Amino acid sequence: MERLLVSKCPVCGNRMDIIKLHCKSCDTTLAGRFAPCKFCQLTTEQQQFVEVFLASRGNIKEVERLLGMSYPTVRSRLDQVIESLGYRVEHQEADSHRKEILKALNEGEITAEEAIKLLKK
């Protein structure tokens, strides 16, 4: 069974550094301070979301179907992943948020009931 890299300290929650790398094939060992890749720093849930998103080739409707999530939930998860990778996400103003909800409703991506709930928030 393959063990996964732990990227956050279980005690304080800060980023862990990798100190040693070893090759099983030729017995070479590298010692130093190595940072884990950005994707390794995502939570397990975020990594699973990225895997589904990539397998769906970024098709949000397909991600919705596979994960059983609404359009706004998929967008929110995607924004969280983008932010976790260190990129800035422009959070929408209330008017543009309403427009997105209405657009999703118009395109059949969400139901009328979901749109009403989202607009009331």
What's the confidence (pLDDT) of residue 95? Answer: 64
pLDDT of 91 over the 80 cut = no
Domain ranges of the chain: 1-37, 42-120
pTM exceeds 0.85 for this model: no
pLDDT digits 0-9 by tens, 61-85? 999 999 999 988 999 999 999 999 9
pLDDT digits 0-9 by tens, 10-44? 899 888 888 898 999 999 999 998 877 888 888 88
Cα(118)–Cα(29) distance, rounded to whole angstroms?
54
Spell out a b/e string for 7-27, using b for 16 or more CB atoms within 10 Å of the CB, else e.
beeeeeeeeeeeeeeeeeeee
